[in-house]
């Protein structure tokens, strides 16, 4: 039984999707804790209502990223996780922190990486005239929005889309591929070849959503 610790900064909709899928699909895993850097994060209420331990490490209480990351790691390690899942966790992590959880920390990013790393992905995709946008689940490394890709979903950019409408369509895709990616990890279905990850069965690691 693998233990998951999920990090959030806000409402935690991807966290909710993972919690629900874990229970409904009977994964060999449990969500041991949900940790937030913001005391007012809405997702903490959902976690507590589902009997999941919660913790807050308020980044505003620390004078440096290193100090914050050290306390965050201490709290995370108190729950003995096999996997750390970033689900809308809006902090840039130090190289020491990412190295500590190398190959056992996942993130989801609302673009088809390596395109549009960083913020404002939907606005940038529309401004560039992209016909397809999407979302990527990847392992976390010290380089922002890089790391081995686990799964991607492509979403069309429609005529008249703005950032809000495109974001909503991409979020639907996020709620499909993030739980699937986490499930693959807990089922030991992911195989590393150098810095590339594949599914041991050769299963498709992409979705095309209309």
- Catalytic residue ranges: 109
Quick one: angle between helices 13-25 and 163-186, nearest 10? Answer: 40
- Which has the closest alpha carbon to 72: 118, 105, 113, 103? 105
Strand order in the sheet with 206-208: 53-56, 29-36, 2-8, 83-86, 105-109, 132-139, 149-156, 206-208
CB 12 within 8 A of CB 47: yes
Q: What span, in angstroms and rounded, lies between the C-alpha atoms of 165 and 122?
A: 9
Prior bond to 146 cis, omega within 30?
no
What distance lies between CA 83 and its chain's CA centroid? 11
């Amino acid at each position: 039984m693998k233990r998951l610790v999920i990090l959030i900064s806000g409402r935690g909709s991807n966290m909710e999707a993972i919690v629900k899928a874990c229970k409904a699909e009977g994964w060999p895993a449990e969500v041991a804790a949900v940790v937030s850097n913001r005391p007012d994060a809405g997702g903490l209420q959902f976690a507590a209502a589902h009997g999941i331990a919660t913790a807050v490490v308020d980044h505003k209480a620390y004078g440096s990223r290193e100090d914050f990351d050290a306390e965050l790691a201490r709290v995370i390690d108190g729950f003995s996780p096999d996997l750390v899942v970033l689900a809308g966790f809006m902090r840039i992590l130090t190289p020491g922190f990412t190295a500590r959880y190398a190959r056992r920390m996942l993130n989801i990013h609302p673009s088809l990486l390596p395109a549009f790393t960083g913020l404002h992905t939907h606005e940038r995709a529309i401004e560039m005239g992209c016909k397809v946008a999407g979302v990527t689940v990847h392992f976390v490394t010290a380089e922002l929005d890089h790391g081995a890709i686990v799964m991607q979903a492509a979403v069309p950019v429609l005529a008249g889309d703005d950032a809000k409408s495109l974001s909503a369509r991409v979020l639907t895709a996020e709620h499909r591929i993030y739980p699937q990616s986490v499930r693959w990890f807990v089922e030991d279905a992911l195989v590393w070849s150098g810095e590339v990850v594949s599914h041991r069965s050769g299963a498709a690691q992409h979705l095309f959503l209309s």
